[in-house]
Structure formats: structure tokens, C-alpha cells
Structure 1
């Protein structure tokens, strides 16, 4: 009898061990399956890399349309995203396609593309608009008001050439946080709207509307001595710091080596001859003088960087509603500029230039070209990451 009880006891202990082991294996299997599901799900949403394609969707190929209704669209496409362009209908339209991870960006620009000739089945859209003046804002609103007619539209980003006085509140009713369809905005100039959640700052870039092309740093010879110390070619506004600059230029003998070409009124376009002259003078200058205009940030800054000429930048806020600290975006990346507060500082800067050895100037040109290339790479990375996070997170 005792033997039977003892055998039953042993058998029960074996059963308990078996049940416990089975339960452990089962629990482990369930946990493993859950973990695999979560990991797989995360991989399906994002693909993390060390390059500019971080946080890009990778579960399927997704198309993102970029519709450019302002010339800064070309700067975004060619200079920042490094996409190719194809010309249609004698220049009435320009298109391109660019794949980044599992996103395919389809670019459309020019008067050939209107609300009824772009793909009506668009799901993800980056719209590039000009908000600098009332007539441009009117055109922009016509596109934004038309968005509800694209019934498959899921997410919208806006790249906006903002007002030079940062009067951009007209865009607020179109934000998704206020019942509109725009999820995020990349905006030019130091707007106080920028919060890095809905609004992100964007560089002005070069004057594409004047025909300034994407100049690759490899095409610039930074080793040749440049004949000019500095230059300024632009509009001289009455009673502006540009007028003050002109007075100082006329009083400093060293500035005879600085081509200063001023005009009294702004001209919206260039001839092929005037553009070639403009580019040649900047490329032949060690410094490019960048006085404030309607805003402290100017196309000239980026054009000088493209050609390896050091921008001498007037670090001063302009009238209006912009942040009182100008050049916030550029300053984040420690730009190779010479910042000044007043053009009275220019004579001393030029004395230093005259005494600087050529080997240091050559190195500085290389540094300027490299900095600008790296800056554009950073802007590409930021753009792609923000789009991925905002559209697909």
C-alpha cells in the first residue's frame, strides 16, 4: 500500500513538472510570437538608417507628389533633394522622379500643371507655394481651397516662400490642427510660427526665378587667386543700409578692387548676359557683401556660397513680425560668414583681407564650398525625416 502511494506521489510530481515545463514553453512561445509581431510591425512602418533616408516607410512603395507653384520648388527638387528634371512642352512643365527607400517622389512644376491636370488620386502631397505678396497668396489659396476635391488625399505638407515681414497668418486656417488639410509647413524666413512640430524653417536658397542654376562645388576652381576683394550687385533702396554701404564704398580706396553695381529699382528677371556677369563677378571675389533688403536673408548669400565667396552678412533684424534673431536656421550650422552689425566695420575687414595669405584664402574657399554642400545634405535629411514622421508615423 505504501509502495502504491509512493508511486502515485512520484507520478504526480512528474506530472506537475511536465505541466510546469509545458506551461513555460507555451508562455515563452506566446511571448516570442508577440515580440516578433511587434518587431515586424515596427520594421514595416520604418526603416532606420544612418543616412538622409532615416524613418522612411518601407512596407510598400508609396508615391508622394510634389507640385511646385513657386520657383523655390526647383531649389527643393534639384539643390536639396538632388532630383533630375525633364522639360515638357517647351518649358511649360518640368517633371522628375526620385526614389528614397520605399518612397517615390514625383515632381511637377510649371503652368502646364493646374488643379485639373495633376493626378486626382493623390494620397500624399507636398505643395510648394509663394506667399510673398497678395497676388501670390491669392493663387496659393486657390490651390488650398481645391484640396478637398482630391477625395483620396491623406496627408499634405506645404513648402512656403513666406512674406518678407513674416506676415503669414493667412495660412493658419488651412492647418489640420484648425480644421484644414495641411499637416506641416516648411516656411522661409524667421517666422515666429516655427515650432518644429507644425512649422519648420526652410532656407531661401538661390534665385531660381532669375535662372541661377545648381552649381556643383566640383566645378568651382578654389585654388586660383581671385582678382576682386569683394563685390555687391543689387538694388540700392533709398534710405537703406545699402545706401550707407554705397557711401562707405566710395570713401575707401581699397574698395576699388570691389565691383559695386547698384540699381535704383528691383528688376524681376535677368538677361543671359547680366546673369553671366553676376556669376562671374561673385566667382572672382573673395567676399560678397550681403546687406539687408526687405529681409536680412537674401538669395545673394546662397549664391555666394555656391561660388565659394564668403558672404559678409549684415546681422540685423528688419522691420515686421519676424523673430528678432535673424538667420536662426543658418546659425544652427555655424556658417562660414563674416557677420557685421554696421557697414562702418567694412574698412577694417578689408584691411584683414589685404593681409591674408593666399593659401589661407584657398582653404577658406574650400571650407565655404564644403559647408554649403553639407548644409544642403542636412536640409535633405530634415525634409525626408519630417515627411516620414508626419505622413506615416
Structure 2
């Protein structure tokens, strides 16, 4: 009987100790959680906030150099470049280069914007490697992606990586008229200029927009068989007037990079043309539109949807972002209307053309600033609980 009582007392003591441990642990967890909430609240209110930008696609250089106006990146380790920029209450840290891989990227990142290429299957596989590696970044709290999307808007591969679907991504900025754009998980992003081909960030103060331009219109680019570009080429070559007024330089094979000579020819031609012809490729949106506007040459664009999965349900498509922001462009449905466009040009005075050039350059600068505000405000609202400015 005495042994039984002793066992009962021992059980009671052990149970009391167990309950005491639970109470102590609960109090510690509560204090820790409350402390974290206080720290998070203070960080949201006070800033500044550190946001890493890791670029693995050419549009990353457009974001950093042309949209954010960040300084030129400098070498930082093997095959890696970096730069810093403070804008309002956010400190941006930019990294790029072939040496930037999941194994070499800093593991203590907390807020990350990663720029990925989803243009082709091989690029998508490389993007997947990055997104599959995100769980290894234990300090990562927020993740956004800027995606150079598929020209036919086939970007569904990224959906499982969204946080709402069990992944790591809070939201995505994606190029072209993707039907995924909803203002919550997806935002539309401009294609911009072809930084990867060496197109510079034009300083408007360096431009003389008052002198007469040599050409009414131009087209320089690859002429693919059975394409809109081939049709444009045939129409120009069949008209003596168009041949005289439009500078046309086509090539049969696409080249990924420009030589110094071909790049300068392109820049000079845009500067010498009142209009820049922009026939559709795989998508209506192309680098040429932004490049022409930056130099005061008005893009002449085919207002037609290209085949694929882009959003044709919107009345503003194609080019809905540019139309929403009232880009100064001329639209036509077929290149057979080009003669009429040139006829209208003869009715414009010198002063009207000069004002139009200045307006195009001014619009493009304001456009970049607007995209900058949209980008920063989305980060501030979604990540740091700060109201947009």
C-alpha cells in the first residue's frame, strides 16, 4: 500500500512539473511572438527597407538603369556586378551577371525581387531552378518576380509558384497583354528598350529635336518570310514615293547582338525619321516602339492581335498598357494604309512636327517615371504596409 501511495505522489509531481513546463513554454512563445509583431510594426513604420533585386534577364537592366535610374553596376565577385540605390524609404541592392546563381546568392535576403526570363522552354527551366531554390532562403519573407514573358502569353507554368498556391511568390510583373494580369497576383510590365542589344538610356537634354529630319519614315530589322515585315517591304518597294521617303534596311536572318556600326545606324535613322514603322512579330509589342519614342520618332503600329494566348477580350488590346497611358502612336490595320499616313504627314507644319517630337520624348520620360512609381508603390503597399505616395 505504501509503495502504491508513493507511486501516486510521484505521478502527481511529474504531472505538475509537465503542466508547469507547458505554461512556461507558452509564455515564452507568446512573448517572442508579441516581440516579433512589435518589431515588424516598427519596421513598417520607420524604414528604411532593404530590397534585393537579382537580375537574370535583360529587362532587369532596363528596370535598374532606365526605370529606377540606378548607377552603373560594378564588379562584385567572380562574374557578378552590383549597385546600390535609395529611393524614398527603400534601399535597393541590385545584383546581376552570370556568376549570380542560387549557390552564390546571399542566403540572408528578406525582401527579394528576382527578374527571370520565361521566353522559351530552356529559359523557363533556368527560371524554375531559381524558384525551386527559394525554400532554402530561410530569412526570405517576401518575393516578387519580374517576368520576361512568353510572346504568346503562355505563362501558366509560374502559377504553382505563387504563395496562394503553396509557393513563394507574392506577385508577378509580366510583359505583354497576359490574361493573368489581375492587379493582385499579376501586374503588367513594359517590354522597354533592347538593353541587351546596347540601346542607351537617352538623355532628352542631349537631343536636338528642331532640325528637319531626312526621312518621313523608317524600318530596320529582320524580314521574315510570310510575315508582316515581308508585306511591308513589298509595299515600300512597289512605290517610288515610299522608297524615296522611307529608309528601309532589312536582313534575312535575326542577329542577337548589334555591331557598333549597325547600332549607330539604327540610332541615327530613328533620329532622322519622323515616323518609325513597327510591323508585328510574334507579338504586337516590341522594343522598337519604346526606342522610337525615346528619340522623338512616332511609332506606326499595326493595331492587330497576334496569334496565341494573349488577352483579346480587352477592348484596349493589343498594347493595352501603352494605350492606357496614351502613348503618342499612329495605328493602322494594314500596311496598305501607309500611303495615306504619309499623305497626312505633308499637312503638318515644321512647328507641328517639332512639337510632336518633343511631346513623344516628354511622354516617354513621364512613362518611365510612372512605371517607377507603380513598381515602388506596389512594394510599399504589399510588403511594408505603407500607403502609396
Q: Which residue of 2 aligns with 1:374?
A: 366
Q: Is the 8 A contact 1:184 1:390 kept in 2?
A: no
Secondary structure at 1:192 match in 2: coil
Q: Which residue of 1 aligns with 2:261?
A: 273
Q: Is the 8 A contact 1:58 1:101 kept in 2?
A: no
Q: Which residue of 1 aligns with 2:323?
A: 331
- Name which one, 1 or 2, has greater alpha-carbon Rg: 1
Question: How far is the alpha carbon of 1:102 from its aligned partner?
Answer: 2.3
Question: How far is the alpha carbon of 1:85 from its aligned partner?
Answer: 1.4
Q: Which residue of 1 aligns with 2:348?
A: 356
CA deviation vs aligned residue, 1:79-135 (integer Å, no higher than 9, x gap): 111111133179943321111222101000111222122221000000000000011
Q: Does 1:174 align with 2:161?
A: yes
CA deviation vs aligned residue, 1:12-62 (integer Å, no higher than 9, x gap): xxxxxxxxxxxxxxxxxxxxxxxxxxxxx9xx779xxxxxxxxxx551322
| Unmatched segments (≥5 aa) in structure 2 | 1-37
Q: Which residue of 2 aligns with 1:121?
A: 108
**Mapped partners of 1:261, 1:96: distance in 2:** 38
Q: Is the 8 A contact 2:228 2:280 kept in 1?
A: yes
Check 1:90–1:285 CA distance in 2 against 1; reply closer, same or farther (3 A cut): farther
Q: Which residue of 2 aligns with 1:197?
A: 184
- Select between 86-95 and 144-153 the one with higher mean Cα deviation: 86-95
Q: Does 1:288 align with 2:302?
A: no
Which of 347, 352, 358 lines up with 2:339 in the alignment?
A: 347
Q: Which residue of 1 aligns with 2:4?
A: none
Q: Which residue of 1 aligns with 2:128?
A: 141
Q: Does 1:132 align with 2:119?
A: yes
Q: Is the 8 A contact 1:45 1:392 kept in 2?
A: no
Q: Map 1:1-393 onto structure 2 (within 5 A).
A: 57-88=44-75, 92-255=79-242, 256-324=244-312, 325-393=317-385
Secondary structure at 1:294 match in 2: coil
Secondary structure at 1:287 match in 2: strand
Secondary structure at 1:244 match in 2: helix
CA deviation vs aligned residue, 1:261-289 (integer Å, no higher than 9, x gap): 11122111111111111111111100000
User: TM-score under structure 2 normalisation?
Assistant: 0.85
**Mapped partners of 2:219, 2:258: distance in 1:** 16
- Select between 251-260 and 206-215 the one with higher mean Cα deviation: 251-260
**Mapped partners of 2:282, 2:380: distance in 1:** 34
**Mapped partners of 1:221, 1:93: distance in 2:** 37
Secondary structure at 2:46 match in 1: coil
- Select between 250-259 and 320-329 the one with higher mean Cα deviation: 250-259
CA deviation vs aligned residue, 1:325-378 (integer Å, no higher than 9, x gap): 210111111111001111111101111113321111000000000000111111
| Unmatched segments (≥5 aa) in structure 1 | 1-40, 47-56
Number of residue-to-residue matches in the alignment: 341
- Select between 139-148 and 58-67 the one with higher mean Cα deviation: 58-67
**Mapped partners of 2:88, 2:375: distance in 1:** 14
Secondary structure at 1:231 match in 2: strand
Check 1:272–1:387 CA distance in 2 against 1; reply closer, same or farther (3 A cut): same
